Structure 1
Protein backbone atom coordinates (compact mmCIF):
# COMPACT_ATOMS: atom_id res chain seq x y z
CA UNK A 1 0.00 0.00 0.00
CA UNK A 2 2.86 2.39 0.88
CA UNK A 3 4.62 1.65 -2.43
CA UNK A 4 1.42 2.32 -4.37
CA UNK A 5 0.87 5.58 -2.50
CA UNK A 6 4.42 6.74 -3.23
CA UNK A 7 3.95 5.89 -6.91
CA UNK A 8 0.67 7.78 -7.04
CA UNK A 9 2.15 10.81 -5.28
CA UNK A 10 5.09 10.76 -7.67
CA UNK A 11 2.79 10.82 -10.69
CA UNK A 12 0.74 13.63 -9.17
CA UNK A 13 3.88 15.65 -8.38
CA UNK A 14 5.21 15.14 -11.90
CA UNK A 15 1.89 16.23 -13.42
CA UNK A 16 1.80 19.35 -11.25
CA UNK A 17 5.26 20.27 -12.43
CA UNK A 18 4.32 19.65 -16.07
CA UNK A 19 1.18 21.77 -15.74
CA UNK A 20 3.05 24.58 -14.00
CA UNK A 21 5.80 24.45 -16.63
CA UNK A 22 3.27 24.59 -19.45
CA UNK A 23 1.65 27.68 -17.94
CA UNK A 24 4.99 29.42 -17.43
CA UNK A 25 6.25 28.58 -20.93
CA UNK A 26 2.98 29.73 -22.50
CA UNK A 27 2.95 33.04 -20.62
CA UNK A 28 6.67 33.89 -20.57
CA UNK A 29 8.18 31.92 -23.45
CA UNK A 30 10.93 29.32 -23.15
CA UNK A 31 13.90 31.62 -22.60
CA UNK A 32 12.27 33.81 -19.93
CA UNK A 33 10.97 30.83 -17.94
CA UNK A 34 13.18 29.64 -15.09
CA UNK A 35 13.08 26.41 -13.11
CA UNK A 36 12.62 28.53 -9.99
CA UNK A 37 9.38 30.03 -11.34
CA UNK A 38 8.10 26.60 -12.38
CA UNK A 39 8.60 25.08 -8.93
CA UNK A 40 7.14 28.17 -7.23
CA UNK A 41 4.02 27.88 -9.41
CA UNK A 42 3.75 24.15 -8.64
CA UNK A 43 4.42 24.57 -4.92
CA UNK A 44 7.67 22.58 -4.84
CA UNK A 45 11.29 23.24 -3.99
CA UNK A 46 13.84 23.52 -6.78
CA UNK A 47 15.68 20.27 -5.87
CA UNK A 48 12.38 18.37 -6.24
CA UNK A 49 12.16 19.46 -9.89
CA UNK A 50 15.33 17.52 -10.68
CA UNK A 51 13.85 14.35 -9.21
CA UNK A 52 11.55 14.25 -12.22
CA UNK A 53 13.28 16.23 -15.00
CA UNK A 54 16.98 16.69 -15.78
CA UNK A 55 16.53 20.20 -17.18
CA UNK A 56 14.16 22.94 -18.30
CA UNK A 57 14.69 21.76 -21.88
CA UNK A 58 13.56 18.24 -20.95
CA UNK A 59 10.25 19.34 -19.45
CA UNK A 60 9.57 21.63 -22.42
CA UNK A 61 10.28 18.80 -24.86
CA UNK A 62 7.95 16.46 -22.97
CA UNK A 63 5.13 19.00 -23.10
CA UNK A 64 5.57 19.40 -26.86
CA UNK A 65 5.79 15.65 -27.50
CA UNK A 66 2.74 14.92 -25.36
CA UNK A 67 0.72 17.58 -27.19
CA UNK A 68 1.72 16.26 -30.60
CA UNK A 69 1.09 12.62 -29.68
CA UNK A 70 -2.34 13.28 -28.13
CA UNK A 71 -3.44 15.49 -31.02
CA UNK A 72 -2.30 12.90 -33.56
CA UNK A 73 -4.17 10.10 -31.79
CA UNK A 74 -7.32 12.20 -31.59
CA UNK A 75 -7.20 13.14 -35.28
CA UNK A 76 -6.67 9.55 -36.38
CA UNK A 77 -9.66 8.47 -34.28
CA UNK A 78 -11.97 10.96 -36.03
CA UNK A 79 -11.97 9.31 -39.46
CA UNK A 80 -15.55 8.71 -40.61
CA UNK A 81 -16.30 5.05 -41.12
CA UNK A 82 -18.12 3.84 -44.26
CA UNK A 83 -21.90 3.51 -44.18
CA UNK A 84 -22.93 6.81 -42.60
CA UNK A 85 -26.35 7.94 -43.82
CA UNK A 86 -26.40 11.22 -45.82
CA UNK A 87 -28.59 12.96 -43.24
CA UNK A 88 -26.05 12.14 -40.52
CA UNK A 89 -22.92 13.18 -42.44
CA UNK A 90 -23.00 16.90 -41.68
CA UNK A 91 -23.56 16.24 -37.99
CA UNK A 92 -20.65 13.80 -37.82
CA UNK A 93 -18.25 16.17 -39.60
CA UNK A 94 -19.25 18.94 -37.21
CA UNK A 95 -18.75 16.68 -34.19
CA UNK A 96 -15.28 15.72 -35.39
CA UNK A 97 -14.19 19.35 -35.72
CA UNK A 98 -15.73 20.22 -32.38
CA UNK A 99 -13.65 17.48 -30.74
CA UNK A 100 -10.48 19.03 -32.15
CA UNK A 101 -11.41 22.47 -30.84
CA UNK A 102 -12.36 20.99 -27.46
CA UNK A 103 -8.99 19.28 -27.23
CA UNK A 104 -7.20 22.53 -28.04
CA UNK A 105 -9.08 24.58 -25.44
CA UNK A 106 -8.93 21.91 -22.71
CA UNK A 107 -5.30 22.75 -22.03
CA UNK A 108 -4.73 26.19 -23.55
CA UNK A 109 -1.14 26.44 -22.34
CA UNK A 110 -0.05 23.26 -24.13
CA UNK A 111 -1.93 24.39 -27.23
CA UNK A 112 -0.19 27.76 -27.23
CA UNK A 113 3.16 26.00 -26.91
CA UNK A 114 2.49 23.22 -29.44
CA UNK A 115 0.85 25.31 -32.16
CA UNK A 116 2.64 28.63 -31.82
CA UNK A 117 5.70 28.77 -29.54
CA UNK A 118 7.64 25.53 -29.93
CA UNK A 119 10.45 25.40 -32.53
CA UNK A 120 8.68 22.25 -33.79
CA UNK A 121 5.30 24.04 -34.21
CA UNK A 122 5.45 23.95 -38.01
CA UNK A 123 6.33 20.25 -38.01
CA UNK A 124 3.43 19.58 -35.61
CA UNK A 125 1.03 21.35 -37.97
CA UNK A 126 2.48 19.50 -40.95
CA UNK A 127 1.94 16.18 -39.16
CA UNK A 128 -1.62 17.21 -38.29
CA UNK A 129 -2.21 18.13 -41.93
CA UNK A 130 -0.99 14.68 -42.97
CA UNK A 131 -3.37 12.99 -40.51
CA UNK A 132 -6.29 15.06 -41.78
CA UNK A 133 -5.38 14.39 -45.41
CA UNK A 134 -5.31 10.65 -44.78
CA UNK A 135 -8.76 10.88 -43.18
CA UNK A 136 -10.18 13.08 -45.94
CA UNK A 137 -8.96 10.82 -48.75
CA UNK A 138 -10.46 7.76 -47.08
CA UNK A 139 -13.74 9.63 -46.57
CA UNK A 140 -13.68 10.83 -50.18
CA UNK A 141 -13.18 7.24 -51.33
CA UNK A 142 -16.20 6.28 -49.20
CA UNK A 143 -18.27 8.72 -51.26
CA UNK A 144 -18.79 11.38 -48.60
CA UNK A 145 -17.15 14.22 -50.57
CA UNK A 146 -16.91 15.22 -54.22
CA UNK A 147 -14.41 13.15 -56.15
CA UNK A 148 -13.07 16.17 -58.08
CA UNK A 149 -11.99 18.10 -54.97
CA UNK A 150 -8.27 18.04 -54.18
CA UNK A 151 -8.15 16.89 -50.56
CA UNK A 152 -4.60 18.14 -50.03
CA UNK A 153 -5.93 21.68 -50.49
CA UNK A 154 -8.84 20.99 -48.15
CA UNK A 155 -6.48 19.68 -45.46
CA UNK A 156 -4.28 22.78 -45.73
CA UNK A 157 -7.33 25.04 -45.54
CA UNK A 158 -8.61 23.21 -42.47
CA UNK A 159 -5.29 23.56 -40.65
CA UNK A 160 -5.16 27.25 -41.49
CA UNK A 161 -8.69 27.78 -40.22
CA UNK A 162 -8.11 25.76 -37.05
CA UNK A 163 -4.86 27.62 -36.31
CA UNK A 164 -6.23 31.14 -36.79
CA UNK A 165 -9.59 30.48 -35.11
CA UNK A 166 -7.80 28.95 -32.15
CA UNK A 167 -5.59 32.02 -31.77
CA UNK A 168 -8.25 34.68 -32.35
CA UNK A 169 -11.44 33.16 -30.93
CA UNK A 170 -10.92 29.90 -29.04
CA UNK A 171 -8.06 30.65 -26.64
CA UNK A 172 -9.31 34.19 -25.85
CA UNK A 173 -12.71 32.65 -25.02
CA UNK A 174 -14.64 34.61 -27.65
CA UNK A 175 -16.27 31.54 -29.24
CA UNK A 176 -16.95 27.98 -28.11
CA UNK A 177 -15.72 24.82 -29.85
CA UNK A 178 -19.28 24.13 -31.01
CA UNK A 179 -19.66 27.60 -32.52
CA UNK A 180 -16.36 27.41 -34.37
CA UNK A 181 -17.02 23.89 -35.67
CA UNK A 182 -20.40 24.98 -37.00
CA UNK A 183 -18.95 27.98 -38.83
CA UNK A 184 -16.08 26.00 -40.37
CA UNK A 185 -18.39 23.24 -41.58
CA UNK A 186 -20.91 25.77 -42.91
CA UNK A 187 -18.23 27.51 -45.02
CA UNK A 188 -16.55 24.32 -46.26
CA UNK A 189 -19.72 22.39 -47.02
CA UNK A 190 -21.95 25.19 -48.31
CA UNK A 191 -19.59 28.01 -49.33
CA UNK A 192 -20.24 31.75 -49.11
CA UNK A 193 -22.88 32.20 -51.79
CA UNK A 194 -26.55 32.46 -50.83
CA UNK A 195 -28.18 29.06 -51.16
CA UNK A 196 -30.47 30.15 -54.01
CA UNK A 197 -27.44 31.16 -56.14
CA UNK A 198 -25.37 28.04 -55.55
CA UNK A 199 -26.98 25.86 -58.21
CA UNK A 200 -26.50 28.47 -60.95
CA UNK A 201 -22.91 29.14 -60.01
CA UNK A 202 -22.21 25.39 -59.95
CA UNK A 203 -23.34 25.15 -63.57
CA UNK A 204 -21.09 28.08 -64.58
CA UNK A 205 -18.03 26.38 -63.13
CA UNK A 206 -18.73 23.40 -65.36
CA UNK A 207 -18.83 25.44 -68.58
Structure 2
Protein backbone atom coordinates (compact mmCIF):
# COMPACT_ATOMS: atom_id res chain seq x y z
CA UNK A 1 0.00 0.00 0.00
CA UNK A 2 1.51 3.31 -1.02
CA UNK A 3 1.47 6.40 1.15
CA UNK A 4 -0.90 9.20 0.40
CA UNK A 5 0.56 12.35 -1.14
CA UNK A 6 -0.09 14.32 2.07
CA UNK A 7 1.84 11.78 4.19
CA UNK A 8 4.77 11.92 1.77
CA UNK A 9 4.81 15.73 1.84
CA UNK A 10 4.64 15.80 5.63
CA UNK A 11 7.53 13.32 5.89
CA UNK A 12 9.60 15.39 3.43
CA UNK A 13 9.07 18.48 5.59
CA UNK A 14 10.05 16.61 8.77
CA UNK A 15 13.12 15.08 7.13
CA UNK A 16 14.24 18.43 5.72
CA UNK A 17 13.73 20.15 9.07
CA UNK A 18 15.72 17.44 10.89
CA UNK A 19 18.61 17.85 8.47
CA UNK A 20 18.62 21.64 8.65
CA UNK A 21 18.14 21.83 12.44
CA UNK A 22 21.09 19.44 12.85
CA UNK A 23 23.40 21.26 10.45
CA UNK A 24 22.37 24.91 10.94
CA UNK A 25 20.70 24.84 14.33
CA UNK A 26 17.05 25.46 15.09
CA UNK A 27 17.38 29.26 15.20
CA UNK A 28 19.54 29.32 12.08
CA UNK A 29 16.88 27.54 10.01
CA UNK A 30 13.92 29.22 8.32
CA UNK A 31 10.64 27.77 7.08
CA UNK A 32 11.67 28.90 3.57
CA UNK A 33 14.82 26.75 3.80
CA UNK A 34 12.85 23.75 5.05
CA UNK A 35 10.31 23.84 2.21
CA UNK A 36 13.00 24.54 -0.39
CA UNK A 37 14.93 21.44 0.69
CA UNK A 38 11.70 19.42 0.75
CA UNK A 39 10.77 20.66 -2.74
CA UNK A 40 7.47 22.05 -1.46
CA UNK A 41 5.81 25.41 -0.91
CA UNK A 42 5.25 27.36 2.28
CA UNK A 43 1.54 26.79 1.80
CA UNK A 44 2.20 23.04 1.98
CA UNK A 45 4.23 23.56 5.16
CA UNK A 46 1.36 25.30 6.91
CA UNK A 47 -1.05 22.49 5.98
CA UNK A 48 0.86 20.22 8.38
CA UNK A 49 2.62 22.48 10.90
CA UNK A 50 1.84 25.76 12.64
CA UNK A 51 5.51 26.76 12.91
CA UNK A 52 9.02 25.37 12.86
CA UNK A 53 8.70 25.07 16.66
CA UNK A 54 5.79 22.69 16.03
CA UNK A 55 8.13 20.51 13.95
CA UNK A 56 10.82 20.61 16.65
CA UNK A 57 8.28 19.58 19.30
CA UNK A 58 7.18 16.61 17.18
CA UNK A 59 10.75 15.52 16.47
CA UNK A 60 11.61 15.64 20.17
CA UNK A 61 8.42 13.87 21.28
CA UNK A 62 8.96 11.02 18.81
CA UNK A 63 12.59 10.65 19.91
CA UNK A 64 11.65 10.76 23.60
CA UNK A 65 9.10 8.01 23.04
CA UNK A 66 11.77 5.88 21.38
CA UNK A 67 14.18 6.58 24.25
CA UNK A 68 11.63 5.72 26.96
CA UNK A 69 12.22 1.99 26.57
CA UNK A 70 15.95 2.40 27.14
CA UNK A 71 15.62 4.84 30.03
CA UNK A 72 13.46 2.26 31.78
CA UNK A 73 16.03 -0.56 31.55
CA UNK A 74 16.27 -0.58 35.36
CA UNK A 75 12.74 -2.00 35.56
CA UNK A 76 13.61 -4.72 33.09
CA UNK A 77 16.70 -5.67 35.09
CA UNK A 78 14.81 -6.44 38.27
CA UNK A 79 12.37 -8.66 36.39
CA UNK A 80 15.17 -11.11 35.53
CA UNK A 81 17.67 -13.15 37.56
CA UNK A 82 20.71 -11.20 38.79
CA UNK A 83 22.96 -13.44 36.70
CA UNK A 84 21.35 -11.97 33.55
CA UNK A 85 21.85 -8.28 34.43
CA UNK A 86 24.98 -7.74 32.35
CA UNK A 87 23.43 -9.37 29.29
CA UNK A 88 20.24 -7.33 29.69
CA UNK A 89 22.20 -4.09 30.06
CA UNK A 90 24.39 -4.94 27.08
CA UNK A 91 21.34 -5.65 24.92
CA UNK A 92 19.71 -2.36 26.00
CA UNK A 93 22.86 -0.28 25.44
CA UNK A 94 23.37 -1.82 22.01
CA UNK A 95 19.78 -0.88 21.14
CA UNK A 96 20.33 2.62 22.48
CA UNK A 97 23.45 3.16 20.38
CA UNK A 98 21.63 1.75 17.34
CA UNK A 99 18.78 4.20 17.96
CA UNK A 100 21.20 7.13 18.15
CA UNK A 101 23.06 5.93 15.07
CA UNK A 102 19.82 5.60 13.09
CA UNK A 103 18.72 9.09 14.21
CA UNK A 104 21.95 11.05 13.82
CA UNK A 105 20.27 14.34 12.97
CA UNK A 106 17.79 14.12 15.83
CA UNK A 107 20.59 13.21 18.24
CA UNK A 108 22.55 16.29 17.17
CA UNK A 109 19.45 18.44 17.58
CA UNK A 110 18.82 17.16 21.11
CA UNK A 111 22.42 17.83 22.12
CA UNK A 112 22.40 21.42 20.82
CA UNK A 113 18.91 22.90 21.38
CA UNK A 114 19.36 24.27 24.86
CA UNK A 115 16.40 24.36 27.24
CA UNK A 116 14.25 21.74 25.49
CA UNK A 117 17.23 19.39 25.27
CA UNK A 118 17.96 19.96 28.95
CA UNK A 119 14.35 19.21 29.86
CA UNK A 120 14.43 15.96 27.90
CA UNK A 121 17.80 15.04 29.42
CA UNK A 122 16.43 15.85 32.89
CA UNK A 123 13.41 13.59 32.43
CA UNK A 124 15.63 10.72 31.30
CA UNK A 125 18.05 11.25 34.20
CA UNK A 126 15.17 11.28 36.69
CA UNK A 127 13.73 8.07 35.28
CA UNK A 128 17.12 6.33 35.41
CA UNK A 129 17.77 7.62 38.94
CA UNK A 130 14.41 6.36 40.23
CA UNK A 131 14.99 2.94 38.67
CA UNK A 132 18.45 2.80 40.22
CA UNK A 133 17.05 3.71 43.65
CA UNK A 134 14.56 0.85 43.42
CA UNK A 135 17.31 -1.51 42.28
CA UNK A 136 19.44 -0.30 45.18
CA UNK A 137 16.62 -1.17 47.60
CA UNK A 138 16.48 -4.65 46.04
CA UNK A 139 20.23 -5.17 46.56
CA UNK A 140 21.14 -5.06 42.86
CA UNK A 141 23.13 -1.81 43.13
CA UNK A 142 25.47 -1.16 46.05
CA UNK A 143 23.91 1.03 48.76
CA UNK A 144 26.78 3.52 48.85
CA UNK A 145 26.33 4.45 45.17
CA UNK A 146 24.93 7.97 44.70
CA UNK A 147 22.16 7.24 42.18
CA UNK A 148 21.71 10.93 41.29
CA UNK A 149 25.36 11.26 40.34
CA UNK A 150 25.45 7.88 38.60
CA UNK A 151 22.40 8.73 36.47
CA UNK A 152 24.03 12.05 35.48
CA UNK A 153 27.33 10.31 34.71
CA UNK A 154 25.62 7.62 32.66
CA UNK A 155 23.66 10.06 30.50
CA UNK A 156 26.67 12.37 30.05
CA UNK A 157 28.87 9.39 29.15
CA UNK A 158 26.39 8.10 26.61
CA UNK A 159 26.07 11.57 25.06
CA UNK A 160 29.84 11.85 24.73
CA UNK A 161 30.23 8.31 23.42
CA UNK A 162 27.55 8.94 20.79
CA UNK A 163 29.16 12.23 19.80
CA UNK A 164 32.66 10.81 19.69
CA UNK A 165 32.22 7.26 18.47
CA UNK A 166 28.90 6.25 17.02
CA UNK A 167 28.03 9.29 14.93
CA UNK A 168 31.17 9.98 12.95
CA UNK A 169 31.43 6.51 11.41
CA UNK A 170 35.22 6.67 11.32
CA UNK A 171 36.22 5.18 14.66
CA UNK A 172 35.57 1.52 13.91
CA UNK A 173 33.27 1.02 16.91
CA UNK A 174 29.92 -0.60 16.27
CA UNK A 175 26.82 -0.22 18.42
CA UNK A 176 27.56 -3.73 19.71
CA UNK A 177 31.12 -2.77 20.69
CA UNK A 178 29.92 0.33 22.52
CA UNK A 179 27.02 -1.45 24.23
CA UNK A 180 29.20 -4.36 25.37
CA UNK A 181 31.86 -2.02 26.76
CA UNK A 182 29.44 0.22 28.62
CA UNK A 183 27.53 -2.73 30.12
CA UNK A 184 30.81 -4.26 31.30
CA UNK A 185 31.90 -1.02 32.95
CA UNK A 186 28.57 -0.52 34.70
CA UNK A 187 28.20 -4.12 35.85
CA UNK A 188 31.66 -4.65 37.17
CA UNK A 189 31.92 -1.24 38.78
CA UNK A 190 28.43 -0.77 40.24
CA UNK A 191 26.42 -3.95 40.70
CA UNK A 192 26.60 -6.25 43.72
CA UNK A 193 28.13 -9.66 43.21
CA UNK A 194 25.73 -12.50 42.54
CA UNK A 195 25.81 -15.64 44.71
Q: Which residue of 1 aligns with 2:177?
A: 179
Alpha-carbon distance in 2 for matches of 1:116, 1:10: 30
Matches of residues 30-179 of structure 1 in structure 2 within 5 Å?
Answer: 30-76=26-72, 79-82=75-78, 84-173=80-169, 174=171, 175-179=173-177
Whether contact under 8 Å (2:129, 2:147) holds in the other structure is: yes
Distance in 2 (CA, whole Å) between partners of 1:118 and 1:46 is 27
Aligned residues: 187
Q: Is the 8 A contact 2:17 2:34 kept in 1?
A: yes
Q: Does 2:23 match 1:27?
A: yes
Give the drift of 1:26: 0.3
Once residues 37 and 79 of structure 1 are traced to their aligned partners in structure 2, the CA distance between those partners, rounded to angstroms, is 43
Task: Provide the rounded CA distance (Å) in 2 between the counterparts of 1:79 and 1:69.
Answer: 16
How big is each residue's C-alpha offset from its partner over 1:25-70, in whole Å with a ceiling of 9 and x where there is no partner?
1011122212222122222222211111122222223222332343
Where does structure 1 differ by over 3 angstroms across 4 or more consecutive aligned residues?
none
Specify the alignment match of 1:197 in structure 2. none
SS in 2 for 1:120: helix
SS in 2 for 1:79: helix
Per-residue CA deviations over 1:77-120 (Å, capped at 9, x if unaligned) read 66225352343221111112222222222111111111323431
- Kindly name which structure, 1 or 2, has the bigger radius of gyration based on alpha carbons: 1
Structure 1 stretch displaced more, 69-78 or 157-166: 69-78
| Stretches of structure 2 lacking an aligned partner (at least 5 in a row) | 190-195
Structure 1 unaligned residues grouped into runs of 5+: 192-207
* TM-score normalised to structure 2 length: 0.83
Change (3 A) 1:171 1:117: farther
- CA–CA separation in structure 1 for the residues paired with 2:79 and 2:156: 29
- Is the Cα contact below 8 Å between 1:67 and 1:114 reproduced in 2? no
